[in-house]
Amino acid sequence: MASKQASKRLAREFKAISENPPPYISAHPSDSNILEWHYIITGPEDTPYHGGQYWGTLIFPPNYPFAPPAIRMHTPSGRFQPSTRLCLSISDFHPRSFNPAWEVSTILIGLLSFMTSEEMTTGSVSATAQERKLFAARTRWWNSTGGGSHAKNTAQKGNVKAGDGGAKFRAEWPEIDKENWRWMTENNIDMNTGLEPANPSCSPIGIPGGSGAQTQAVVGAVREAGTGWLGRNKLLVIGSAIFFYVLIARLLGAEEDGGL
């Protein structure tokens, strides 16, 4: 249970962050527990996370602000292990380095700064920029479907993993969840993978509804066109060369016989 001082401080910080949210950051305490905060970081431009929707939690101790929160990011990002406590100077891994003057906005700005760096720590992972872009493209789907799962697991202390069918995210971010489902419907997102499906009406070479015979015929034509006239008429060229060689040899032979 939160101390009176912690409750008062966190209520004041919620008012401040609601009125003046930092760039790319939204956050609020859970209705059932003021010590459990939920945040969303929107991936900044010029980063592999651009457009991604990264959801996580801050779990504050009852004696906040004299001790730091546990920090987790639940959405797979290619930067952090999902739902794993992160070892940062602003997290509960380093209580002695925490400054009571730091607020929720300070903590989340620090998390965003660390996320967009390449520094490694407990809970971070390595990935290529392309892999992180793929994760970013699937974040809305992951948040609102629990990674495509349909099982129902009760989330405890904000430690959410894939498997709850998106229930926890939906409870904390109902309006954003609705926007996510609208976005997935409009973009025909595959609910099993979180990606836009390939067009099933296209044949391998892009002929709508093309049959196998048509495909082979067109592929043959493409190959033939690519070889050029010489490639298509090899036998004719070789035969002509042999004919002219024999003809010239005979003419030369006849001239030698006439000279004798």
Q: Which residue in 59, 67, 87, 218 is the catalytic one?
A: 87
- The one-letter amino acid at 52: G
Q: What is the pLDDT of residues 81-99, one digit of tens each?
A: 999 999 999 999 999 999 9
Give me the residues paired with residue 70 across strands: 59
Whether 210 has a pLDDT exceeding 60, the answer reads no
Residue 241, number of CB atoms within 10 A of its CB: 10
d(CA 259, CA 238): 32
Distances (CA, A) of 200 to 100, 138, 208: 57, 21, 9
Q: Which percentage of the chain shows pLDDT scores above 90?
A: 66
Residue listed under structure tokens 């926890």: 168
Check residues 231 and 198 and name the one with the higher pLDDT.
198
> What pLDDT is recorded for position 254?
53
Mean pLDDT for the stretch of residues 107-121: 97
Contact, 42 vs 55, CB < 8 A? no
Task: Tell me the percentage of the chain whose pLDDT exceeds 70.
Answer: 71
Q: What are the C-alpha distances in Å from 156 to residues 14, 29, 137, 161?
A: 22, 15, 27, 10
Residue 137 has pLDDT above 70, yes or no: yes
- 87 as an active site residue: the answer is yes
